[in-house]
Homo-oligomer: A and B are copies of this chain.
């Protein structure tokens, strides 16, 4: 039993290492975009392999423990939460790579406009990820629920950024390509927020045993 507890702790450490790498990747991709600096974006590309490697290790370790240890109650919920959070983190890593690619593509042309909303939206979704992982580490249900409340704010940013960029494109055909890149960046940030929300929902389930996905609380 002590051995199992140690394995769970190791798994926890692996997942947090992955979470840290994903946080850094998102930060670097946005930094590259906002400061028009290609070095951080290139670093994001190089670090992707390590994130993918961790995903596979977390996945195989969690599945093995599930199958061999017959965990129940909280340990079972911990392992299923790890499996889900692992998938979300890996996708967030992919999204950081997408943003890094758009940042590099944007360096080929002059800036469309001063960036205000995109850095703010990026700060918001980065805070969501940080909080959802802290909530997991500390089994903090309230903190996890606070992440769920940021969803509307993310959507507002996305809509504002979209409308503004469409207007720019309509006025000035030469910015079309760059503006489409920025619309995709906003979409990628929105999806990073969605994955942080998924993690927060998994934390609530892990701590309380309540499924809050798809508004299951309301239905059942």
Contact = CB atoms under 8 A, between A and B. Distances in A.
Interface in A147-165: 162
A166 B63 CA distance: 45
Contact of A83 (B71, B83, B211): B83
A12 interface: no
Contact of A87 (B52, B70, B87, B176): B87
A138 B183 CA distance: 41
Contact of A72 (B67, B162, B211): B67
A162 B177 CA distance: 10
A10 B170 CA distance: 54
Interface residues of A, number: 33
A213 interface: yes
Contact of A52 (B63, B67, B214): B214
Nearest to A170: B173
A76 to B, nearest CB: 5
B56 A76 contact: no
Chain A at the B interface: SS class? helix
Nearest to A80: B63
Nearest to A59: B80
A66 interface: yes
Contacts of A72: 67
Nearest to A53: B214
Interface string A58-86: 00000100111011100010001001000
A80 B56 CA distance: 13
A9 B75 CA distance: 27
Given A67-B70, A80-B63, A180-B180, A211 B171 contact: no
